[in-house]
Copies of this chain bind each other. A is one copy, B any other.
Amino acid sequence: MTSSASYNFAAGPGIMPREVLMQAREELLDWQGSGMSVMEMPFTGEAFQAIMGEAQRDLRELLGVPDDYRILFLQGGASAQFALLPMNLLPPGGAADYLDTGHWSRKAIAEASRYVRVNVAASGADHDYRRIPAQASWRLDPQAGYCHITSNETADGLAYHWLPETGRVPLVADMTSDFLSRPIAVERFGVIYAGAQKNIGPAGLTIVIIRDDLIRPARPETPSAFSYRVQAESGGRFNTPLTYAVYIAGLVFRWLLRRGGLAAIAERNRCKSDRLYAAIDGSDLYACHQRVADRSAMNVCFHLADASLTAGFLQQARQQGLLNLQGHPAVGGLRASLYNAMPDAGVDALIAFLRAFAARHA
């Protein structure tokens, strides 16, 4: 199997833009005549500060981040943010609304419950996690310090295709798996956070976008390195950032700008996922139970009508270079993640395989 014939459908870490990897390879030993790999650069030096500054500016341009929001490049991934978010936003005894829409919002709720009184405003469990609960059904807590959503459920294949209305209560979103896949009205959110390993770059890098007025002193027990305020006030110089991951993310931001920005990428993503869902819906061998209006464009979760064929499906797909199509272990079934970097040709190859496999098992 050669790399040119394979497509990586992993849910993340997952496929990255080939042009980005090629540029990273080109510059790996010596970044632009600096005599250093980016991995070797002192983070306070001119070269790396230029890299980080450009990444910040490009991300701000891509998302249209308003001037009264800060972009923080942090560490630890979204799982760490599940705790660090309430530690930074609310005092002990504070309350927050959480929407339970699947595997990752349940993780966020479990961790946040150690720090705040969590009100689960609505739960997808009522519909077996096949839809995003309509806002009319939400029971919001008027005392909530924030309202937390998971904008895309990686394991369940659901996404918000509308923006909740939370009034004065700041809306907070874990956007790990759909960040940069479509435009966002940043000004509608108080905080947006995302782990990098889907559409941004190497795992570990964690982006937090926060409205200035929400940058408060964290709880006293918060490690200084994880205080939004400490990091914001130091301009990201409090401790050594993930220098190499920031550099790769910067290459991804440039790649997105060259491709026309987030509106253009969203259109491509919609086309890719629409075609795949159509192929799934058009065959009796495959099924996707998620409500059409709530389906994720990033993570297409489906299964075989005859579950006993799953292992054979995965094995034959792998032989054809269609990699990492297994569903999340907590959910099972199949999953094709179609991040920004997945080319149309990858979707074509998967659809052709779905049809050929179905023909063999008709």
Contact = CB atoms under 8 A, between A and B. Distances in A.
Interface of A: 1-3, 5-6, 8, 10-16, 18, 21-22, 24-25, 28-30, 33, 35-37, 39-45, 75-80, 82-84, 87, 111, 114-115, 195, 197, 201-205, 219-221, 223-226, 238-245, 248, 321, 323-324, 329
A24 B204 CA distance: 19
A39 B80 contact: no
Nearest to A245: B204
Contact of A225 (B79, B202, B240, B324): B79
A5 to B, nearest CB: 8
A201 B240 CA distance: 13
A148 B81 CA distance: 28
A13 B25 contact: no
Contacts of A80: 75, 223, 225-226, 239
A-B pairs, 8 with minimum CB distance: A6-B35, A83-B223, A79-B239, A3-B30, A204-B242, A10-B42, A80-B225, A25-B28
Given A21-B39, A77-B225, A203-B240, 15 more contacts: A1-B33, A16-B40, A22-B29, A28-B28, A35-B323, A36-B323, A39-B248, A75-B204, A80-B223, A83-B224, A202-B245, A203-B241, A203-B244, A204-B240, A223-B226
20 contacts: A1-B33, A8-B36, A13-B43, A16-B37, A16-B39, A21-B37, A39-B202, A39-B203, A75-B75, A75-B204, A76-B223, A80-B225, A80-B226, A82-B223, A83-B224, A111-B224, A203-B240, A203-B244, A204-B241, A221-B221
Given A22-B29, A115-B221, A10 B83 contact: no
B35 A29 contact: no
B203 A79 contact: no
A118 to B, nearest CB: 15
Contacts of A201: 39
A202 B41 CA distance: 10
Given A42-B14, A202-B244, A35 B3 contact: yes
B42 A203 contact: no
A226 B1 CA distance: 39
